[in-house]
Structure 1
Amino acid sequence: MTSPEHEFVSKFLTLATLSQPVLPSDYKKPLLQVNTLGVALPALKYKYSPKKGLKSASSQKSLKLTLKNIRPPKFTLDHEFDPNDTVYQVKEYLISEGKAQEANQLKLLLKGKVLHDSELLSGLNTDTAIITVMISRVNKPDISTQEPSIPTQYPMTLPWKAIESALSSELKDSQQVASALARLQKGWKMAK
């Protein structure tokens, strides 16, 4: 039994490949000849002014933020930012002030709402704001979980004659014995 999605895709591909495309794949229409852009949308029920949002952001000269950490070590920093700065740039400022080591340690909140790194400060819709700073600990690698490196002490010389006699008792061909012994000696020299 096939799913409705599978059936739809199957029929769509069958219908789409019945006839050759009318236009070549590299077809381009000049922009002046474009009359419509797909489905017509209904008119907006309110007046929208695209300049309204831009005017308020450009009219602000600076945005004063109070950055406050409520957990120990507590601190309060006042700094002016450009409205076009992002939350990530505020985090970089905190790092430059020595309050954190990495940006992913920091979480900034405004009235309990987490501010995302790509958010513009002009989106805060205020001239001054108190931002709560949450700093998490840096994840340091746990030394106790790593295997301790035990220095292996090799004897200065190996009993090559005893190894050769053990090989000759297992391997009957003298050429195989010589080849195996040469490989063992070469590996031993490389391991030092």
Structure 2
Amino acid sequence: MTTTESEFVSKFLTLATLSDPILWRDYQKPLKEVKSLGVALPPLKYKYDPKRVKKSDGSASSIKLTLKSVRAPKFSVEQKFSTNDTVYQVKQLLVAEGQVEHVEQLKLLLKGKVLHDKMLLADFNLSDATLNVMVSKAPVKEINTEGASEIETNSTNIDLSNLEVPWNEIELLLKTKFNNDKHASLTLQRLQKGWELTK
């Protein structure tokens, strides 16, 4: 017994709309009525140790980082960071110093491995380290030509209705360029028509 998709959908919708919904949209079961918490999931395996206590800002140890870019733009920056800082904060320093324009352009490498933005500097277990910096090209911004033309016309505020156009001089120029009076007059007519449409 097979049914087409349209038949199935129509029957399903009629069954679904036969009775009003019993529970409202944002219904939550009261906590007193909850008897089980559901299936116990195995603990997640990740590097972060929840027992590790963050040191206070005054006693936080520091790590000296040397940030080197071998390819253009070449630079070398030495800076001390707190071990509680993240790789993203190191990238932000390079942007603040004007080495690059955007954080998205940067990839930091330690011993050939790419460091993720959320990684803590304490995970290096080093007092000083040299990080290689890979700089990609800046993202290209799309230029909205329609918005730019509107801005230009609004900023000039020139009254085009009273402006006198030197049509005779334009006609002479067209005749010398084309060496054909017929083409010159057709082009001039098109220019005049376009000029009238822009008023």
TM-score (normalised: structure 1) = 0.49
If the length of structure 2 is used for normalisation, what is the TM-score? 0.48
